[in-house]
Amino acid sequence: MTSFVWLFVGFALILVFKGPSIFVYGIIDLTIAIALCVGVGLQAVYLPATHSVCGHAETWQVVGDHPSLFHLAASFQVKKTAVDSCHQFVSSWVLAVAVMYALPQDKAVFASLMPRSAFLK
């Protein structure tokens, strides 16, 4: 969720910053983007890619007698099943993937909406 908040903070900072300060903003933005990409990549190895697989959340990648990640996550919340937990994990992962692919297009749209003079200050 840090990247979501950073979009709003970054929007305000771009309008205020001038010259070399924009470089610092860019480095922070790049670091958050890289962290998001690494996190999504690591989750892709373990999480199911769609909600349809969540029907088997109790047995998803279980080794031996250990419960699944989704079962353990559900046990920490009242009235929640492993399937609910799986849906929550997958939804968060899908949102992160969508943000990862939408950000480059979003910045292009943002740049086209801003007057050229706003970037030349």
Q: How many domains does the chain have?
A: 1
What percent of the chain is predicted at pLDDT more than 70?
79
The string of pLDDT tens digits covering residues 70-83 is: 888 898 988 889 99
Query: Structural domain of residue 22, as residue ranges?
Result: 2-119
The string of pLDDT tens digits covering residues 28-51 is: 878 887 888 888 888 888 888 888
Helix or strand run (H / E) with residue 114: none
Residue 116 has pLDDT above 70, yes or no: no
